[in-house]
Amino acid sequence: MISIPQILLLSLCYWITPKRVIRRLLDMSLAWYVPLIPVLLSGVTFTIAQVSYRDLGDYFEFGSLLLASFGIGIGVGPLLWLLFSGLFYGVGKVFKGQASWRDMQIAVAFSLIPYVFKLLLWMVQLLLFGDEMFTDFTPRIDDSFFLTLFYLFFLLIQVILTIWYVVLLFFAVGEAHRFSTWIGLPVTLISVGLIWIVSKYVFDIVLYPA
């Protein structure tokens, strides 16, 4: 059984050796709840980001939005996990991938490790900027040079983490299917593209990069 120190060590190693870490996790006997940790945290991160980008603080109270983000995020995380796992699994089979359903679930769950770090960044931003993280009108940030500088700094870090998350996802999907990262790339892009097209043109919902 994997221990908490092992999980933390593998989480750190994932940033630089994603294929090796994913392969080791796939070969381990993991308790059912272990993959749920990054899944639930990523769901909260994703939901907070969507609330922030849509400026919902202009219509709802800050405390209510924060509580709703955590509550809804806990449900959104597993939903997106199963959706992405299913697409990566199915599209990968078209490219003759060898991943089992369990393999893909584990790979997708642990590919969300960057989202755990992004949640920490969101918590720091909420402490610094308060309800202005959820509003279009940001007088306190605009009137402070240092707050503006911090805001831009966190925005840059968020962009870098999102890009790095996608790059690492290519490796994770490829390793689960036992093919090269170059095949993992189109499998990932096709799957994500399908989700974006359906959400935009069927449900009229734009999903922003979290």
Please give the model's pTM, rounded to 2 decimal places: 0.89
Q: Match 């799957």 to its residue by tokens.
A: 191
Query: What is the per-residue pLDDT across 118-160, written as a single tens digit (0 to 9) for each?
Result: 999 999 999 999 999 999 889 999 999 999 999 999 999 998 9
Residues in the chain: 210
Radius of gyration of the chain from its Cα atoms, rounded to whole angstroms: 18
- Measured CA to CA, the distance from residue 134 to residue 59 in angstroms comes to 10
- Measured CA to CA, the distance from residue 6 to residue 9 in angstroms comes to 5
- Measured CA to CA, the distance from residue 35 to residue 156 in angstroms comes to 28
**Is residue 146 a contact partner of residue 152, using CB atoms and an 8 Å limit?**
no
